[in-house]
Structure 1
Amino acid sequence: MEQLQSDIYQVFIEADRYKMFLDGLKVTIGVSIAAVLLGILLGMVLALMKMTEVRKGKKTIFSVVANIYIDIIRGTPTVVQLLIIYFLVFQTQMGMVAGIVTFGINSSAYVAEIIRAGIMAVDKGQMEAGRSLGLSYTETMRYIILPQAVKNILPALGNEFIVLIKETAILGYVAIQDLTKASDFIVSRTYIMFVPLIGCALIYYVLVKILTIGLNAFERRLRQSDIR
């Protein structure tokens, strides 16, 4: 017990090392939020590109490009994508931007399928009703279909954000001082492995747990509004 107390003191208290965890947590959350926003933006574009196949009743250039993009991104490891973008695209400069772009691109492939599924879940009669009122396809999609689809996909987007937070643990591969990298740095200074790694895991767990509870509460509210 005394040894554990000594290790905790060295890891968190001595030299104010707890601040490294706090700074790393800020980076983890910041990258995750920026990446999921970029992922939603790109995912929306990809979903609409895929929807052209449904609209035309056959494959289009846009749907083929979107399918290839999604297939490649979902079929390759995130860490490999991060290394490619960091070393080949940004050439070891702007590591934070490289991380955001990487996770944004990776997330977009999954978000695209979420958005597409949400749009497809809306009753076909809604599109027909909009067109019968004289609205164009774009106007019907914007004012009638998408608002209904958003309600269906918000819980799934929340889950995507939670997954993204855990995936950012690989940011240390490109020397970004995220939460996991902070624990690695402390290990290299104190030569204590158990306490920093457990501390890092607990922070991730608490963060994910808080987000999960919030997401579950949000889903319950959505279900209650549907009943009303």
Structure 2
Amino acid sequence: LVINKEKHITRRGYTLCFLSKLQASLRRRDVYVTGSNRWGDPRARLLQGADWQANRIKVYRSLGHPTDPQEAIKSLGHQLDSRYRQVAARLCENEAVELDVSGPKPRLTISPLASLDEPDSLKRLSKMISDLLPPVDLTELLLEINAHTGFADEFFHASEASARVDDLPVSISAVLMAEACNIGLEPLIRSNVPALTRHRL
């Protein structure tokens, strides 16, 4: 794919392989994107320096960990070894686990657990909670959130960047709803409502 018949590196093949490896590295967190919430370094969100020292004991206690990291690692190592031995001892008798060694690499297959029936108490609780929640139109909910936060003020009309258009939050909420629910604009278009006309959206 990368090297052609003339033993030269092909740009398209190299680019494709590079992007494939980059994607895999991003998913494994071997590569980070600075400033990204999803692909950034998770360690950047941890307490650092003086903040960590000030809260260290409180964090340890809340997690139930000893203050000595070596002691914590030793304890986790014992737990892992114990669980590993339990699994290994029962592996031959466990019908839910199959190990296929016919291919180039061993393949482990674990049967899914059977679903449990919901107890009547849970069904009653679910109905009770559902009855307490009023039916709410999602677009109305977006408009209410905008009334509290003003998030729609960060948007502007593409053709009227220097001026505010009437009922822009209504248009923004409709477009957000269409995109988030993947229903398209068609169900939200209202020719008799200026904020919901096809041209506006």
Structure with higher helix content:
1
Q: Give the shorter-chain TM-score range.
A: under 0.3
Higher RCO (CA-CA < 8 Å; seq separation 6+):
1
